[in-house]
Amino acid sequence: MAFEIVGKRAVRKDAAAKVTGRAKYADDFFERDMLVGKVLRSPYAHAIVKSIDTGKAKALPGVEAVITHEDLPKLKYATAGHPWSLDPGHRDVADRYILTDKARYVGDGVAAVVAVDALTAEKALKLIEVEYEVLPFVLDPEKAMLPGAPVIHEERPDNILGATSEEIGNIEEDFKKADYIFEGVYETSIVQHCHLEIQSAYAYVDADGRIVIVSSTQIPHIARRIVGQALGVPWGQIRVIKPYIGGGFGNKQDVVVEPLAAAMSLAVNGRPVRFALTREECFVDTRTRHAMKLYLKTAVTKEGKLLSLHMKPICNNGAYASHGHTVALSAGGKFRLLYDFNSMKYEPKTVYTNLPSAGAMRAYGCPQIFYALESHIEDIAREMKIDPIEFRKQNLISVGKKDPHSDIVVRTFGLRECIEKGKQLIKWDEKLEKYKEQKGIKRRGLGMACFSYASGTYPHGFEIAGARVVMNQDGSVQLQVGATEIGQGSDTVLSQIAAEVLGLPYDMVHVVSQQDTDITPFDLGAYASRQTFVSGAAVKKAAEEAKRKVLEIAAWKTGLSIEEMDIKSARIVERKSGSEICTLEDIAMESYYDRLNAAPIEGNASANVRTNAMAYGVTFAEVEVDMETGRIEIIEIYNVHDSGVIINPLLAEGQVHGGVSMGLGYALSEQLLFDTNTGRPLNNNFLDYKLQTIMDTPDVGYAFVQIPDPEGSVGQKSLGENTTISTAPAVRNAVLNATGIAFNKIPMTPQTVFEKLKQNGLL
């Protein structure tokens, strides 16, 4: 396929608005007499709220309302940003109230204040008197599953939120046949998204009595439904508006602040109330990435053929379900299409603990799974003295491979080329040779890791997207999408697809960036790297409809058939000769003003995408380890992706930069820590939570292997989340190469490296 606009480095649609400060975020909107809401949080990890006395707080001048669970409907709801399921067996776990009557982690909201300003609200919080019955608590999921552990939700006396077992083939038989069996245990830590813009919403009741919520969300249509469920209000009574948002990475694929913002407004007769979290609150009261402990056992033949894999992740879910077990389940469907195991058994358990809730975060369980899998594969190759790259290559799947559980078929598979490209970029063979016998204080090493990922959630999830194209008099169009731009660049890429299909210059597509559930076509939102693949299908369909209507008018005018014409650079041309028939503007003007036939051109489409496309990639890393201080420096790092057709290389590179930086934090420095004696967070701020800065981020190299996927509307597959999956295992494997030490737990902070060096007698 030859493209005009797809594949070009088109400048982001929102670039000017963002760099000039004209883009408005939730906090930039003001209503007259806006009030401020704040939350009183439990100081205990596990405690029953016996009574709350709000009298003194209510008496403070400037306080407009104080609410507790007693003032709110007793409705349990689920917060995950998934489409609703008509099948009750397929729904998210509804396990929370807007304000709780039992605190399940330090920071759980027990009361809220609405006041004239933030300072007054904070003073009022201190005046609320809560009587708690403090309960024993548990932070470790393995301990939470033991008999006699504190019960966090009565509905789940064993604290197990989800436990599943999926087997392909027969692992027992394959383990019997194995020449070698390898076992490994790998652990990851709790980390957070650290989007620049913290969750913020404001709510009011409009003149028609409907609740309007302006929120920094990835999922406006889903948020509307969940607020309706939490408040017990018909969904149509709620309107959610999503302005520009400053990042989400999955943390805003969850309904966190909106129900309480609405409840706050309702408590003051519908006056506008702003409810914005602080960074410290964001760390505890939004979502985190599940910490996992993964038990792996692998059967291998003496020729180095991977026979069978048994993987058992224990996922620390924290206090409330949020996305819960879906994260582990979904990741299971993604890693199975990488290596050609004869049999596999995947048995994840997701467990409640008295910690902040884990939910969706970029690549949804895969960074954990691939950290474990790619560390394990590396360890096996080393153990068997097979070159780790060759070992991987001889076990890769090939095109046509089908996952028997999901029925996903691999149609395009560019991973082999990705590996070759990565090897060349980092000068693998040459450097490996050079770094063979190192004795010094600073030692270098190389490592790599592969991954597989899906494009959207089908078939586990339901994938619907909506788009509308409205043509103006001059032939330009407004593109309305239900997909949310959250910084990933979907507005730009979807505009490119619309321009490509419609034969328009890119500048003639005006994308409406704001989503408003009253106006915007129905779409589930931004997650699962679905927008380009799934929403792209809806945009293509809507654009095709508009194009057909244009050509129908042209056909009626010229007597040519639709098939004989095309639109090129906003002109109607005859396909055969390429000669211009008229301008698009001529047609558009007729569509508006022809006295007989006027009908302005629109394309309206909903796409229910019942397919998926497996995407692949690899990270190659070179590190330098300071054998005295335990510091790990990244010398070079490359990501090579098989994501089908790259619609916008500029944005794709940006995704790689961001994803790798996030992956490096995961590998080296980030982790949310809790006091084991109290369950209190130790480092819920950016001083102590070591998010990497630009000074810590090396130059990130990239390359793309572009094989058009037949099911992508323009040959594309996923990319956004993919970029962060293989960083940590590649760095870990490079450190192993440099030092001979296998780190089976991340992050590899200088302190932990020091300890390992000591343990191994290297210090």
CA distance 331 to 721: 12
**Closer CB to another protein, 569 or 693, in the complex:** 693
# residues contacting another protein (CB under 8 A): 26
Q: Is 387 one of the binding residues for another protein (CB under 8 A)?
A: no
User: Is 438 a residue that touches another protein (CB under 8 A)?
Assistant: no
Separation between Cα atoms, residue 425 and residue 417, nearest integer Å: 12
Residue with tokens 């360890």: 379
In the numeric block, the tokens 């959207």 are attached to 456
Ranges within 602-631 binding another protein (CB under 8 A): 628-630
Asked if the peptide bond before residue 747 counts as cis, ω within 30 degrees of 0, the response is yes
CA-CA distance, 345 to 340, in Å (whole number)? 13
Candidate residues 118, 151, 386, 512; the one interacting with another protein per rule CB under 8 A: 118
Kind of pairing, strands 238-242 and 211-215?
Answer: parallel
Which DSSP helix (H) or strand (E) runs through 515?
A: strand 515-516
Minimal distance, residue 687 CB to another protein, in Å: 6
Residue 225 CB, shortest distance to another protein, in Å, is 34
Helix (H) or strand (E) holding 732: helix 727-739
In this complex, which beta carbon is closest to another protein, that of residue 328 or of residue 748?
748
Minimum distance of another protein from residue 356's CB (angstroms): 17
Is 492 near another protein (CB under 8 A)? no
Query: Toward another protein, which CB reaches closer, 527 or 689?
Result: 689
2 Cβ partners below 8 Å, 6+ apart?
A: none
Pick 35 or 652: Cβ nearer another protein: 35
Tokens of 331: 């990741």
| Cβ pair 82, 99 in contact under 8 A | no
Residue from 251, 406, 412, 692 in contact with another protein (CB under 8 A): 692
**Residue among 21 and 89 whose Cβ is closer to another protein:** 21
- Identify the residue among 16, 19, 59, 119 touching another protein (CB under 8 A): 119
Q: Is 762 in the site for another protein (CB under 8 A)?
A: no
Q: Smaller CB distance to another protein: residue 305 or 631?
A: 631
Biggest alpha carbon distance in the chain?
89
d(CA 541, CA 230) in angstroms, rounded, equals 35
For residue 498, CA distances in Å to 1, 465, 532, 544 come to 16, 15, 12, 9
Tell me if 519 contacts another protein by CB under 8 A: no
Is 58 or 680 the residue whose CB approaches another protein more closely?
Answer: 680
34 binds another protein (CB under 8 A): no
Contact assessment for residue 264 and residue 112, using Cβ atoms and an 8 Å cutoff: yes
Nearest approach, Cβ of residue 113 and another protein (Å)? 13
Closest approach of another protein to the CB of residue 674, in Å:
10
Give how far Cα 317 sits from Cα of 61, 284, 286, 350, 520, Å: 40, 13, 13, 6, 33
Note whether 695 binds another protein by CB under 8 A.
yes
The C-alpha angle 48, 50, 55, rounded to 5 degrees, equals 130
Reduced 3-state DSSP string for 144-191: HCCCCCCCCCCCCCCCEEEECCEEECCHHHHHHHCCEEEEEEEECCCE
Pick the closer one to another protein by CB: 599 or 763. Answer: 763
Three-state secondary structure call for residue 102: strand
Question: Which is nearer to another protein, 465 or 667 (by Cβ)?
Answer: 667
Nearer to another protein (CB atom), residue 265 or residue 684: 684
Task: Give CA separation, 651 vs 16, 242, 716, in Å.
Answer: 15, 22, 14
Q: Which is nearer to another protein, 24 or 126 (CB)?
A: 126
Q: Name which of 115 and 419 has its Cβ closer to another protein.
A: 115
Considering only 228-236, 252-260, 377-385, 694-702, which stretch makes contact with another protein by CB under 8 A? 694-702
Task: Name which of 230 and 753 has its Cβ closer to another protein.
Answer: 753
Using CA atoms, how far apart are residues 763 and 756, in angstroms rounded to an integer? 9
Q: Report the C-alpha gap between 579 and 571 in whole angstroms.
A: 10
CB of 87 to another protein, least distance (A): 45
448: exposed, middle or buried (C-beta count within 10 Å: 0-12, 13-18, 19+)?
Answer: buried
List the one residue from 755, 759, 760, 762 that touches another protein (CB under 8 A).
755
In the complex, the smallest distance separating the C-beta of residue 688 from another protein, rounded to whole angstroms, is: 7
Contact status: 669 vs another protein (CB under 8 A): yes
User: What does the DSSP 8-state code read for residue 224?
Assistant: H
Q: How far is the CB of 117 from another protein (least distance, A)?
A: 8
Minimum gap (Å) between residue 342 Cβ and another protein: 43
The yes or no reply on residue 694 touching another protein (CB under 8 A) is yes
Question: Which among 309, 310, 317, 319 has a CA at the least distance from the CA of 292?
Answer: 317
Alpha carbons 351 and 705: distance in angstroms, whole number = 39
Report the residue from 51, 751, 759, 760 that binds another protein according to the rule CB under 8 A.
751
Give least dist CB 485 to another protein, A: 28
| Sole residue written with tokens 């309702």 | 266
Site string for another protein, 165-204 (x = CB under 8 A): ----------------------------------------
Q: Kindly indicate which of the ranges 162-170, 447-455, 581-589, 667-675 contains the residues binding another protein, using the contact rule CB under 8 A.
A: 667-675
Nearer to another protein, 692 or 724 (CB): 692
Q: Which stretch binds another protein (CB under 8 A): 208-216, 463-471, 472-480, 744-752?
A: 744-752
Interactions with another protein, residue window 671-690 (CB under 8 A): 673, 675, 682-683, 686-688, 690
Q: Which two tokens stand for residue 228?
A: 């309706």
Q: Which is nearer to another protein, 70 or 688 (CB)?
A: 688
CA dihedral (485, 487, 490, 493) positive or negative: positive
Out of 84, 235, 506, 754, the only residue in the binding site for another protein (CB under 8 A) is: 754
Of 72 and 111, nearer to another protein (C-beta) is 111
Residues numbered 322 to 341 that lie near another protein (CB under 8 A) are none
The owner of tokens 């450190």 is 735
Give the binding range for another protein (CB under 8 A) out of 201-209, 294-302, 461-469, 669-677. Answer: 669-677
Q: What are phi and psi of 480, to 5 degrees?
A: -110, 130
- Touching another protein, residues 305-324 (CB under 8 A): none
Q: Minimum distance between the CB of residue 755 and another protein, rounded to whole angstroms?
A: 8
Q: Render the burial of 6-42: b for 16+ CB within 10 Å, e for the rest.
A: bbbebebbbeeeeeeeebebbbeeeeeeebbbbbbbb
Closest CA to 257 of 197, 316, 205, 315: 197
Residue 390 or 699: the one with the smaller Cβ distance to another protein is 699
699 is a site residue for another protein (CB under 8 A): no
Residues 6 or more apart whose CB falls under 8 angstroms from that of 493 comprise: 531, 532, 536, 647, 648, 651
Q: Which stretch binds another protein (CB under 8 A): 300-308, 482-490, 648-656, 751-759?
A: 751-759
Region of 703 (left: φ > 0; alpha: ψ -120 to 50; beta: rest) is beta
Binding site for another protein (CB under 8 A): 118-119, 122, 628-630, 669, 673, 675, 682-683, 686-688, 690, 692-696, 749-751, 754-755, 763
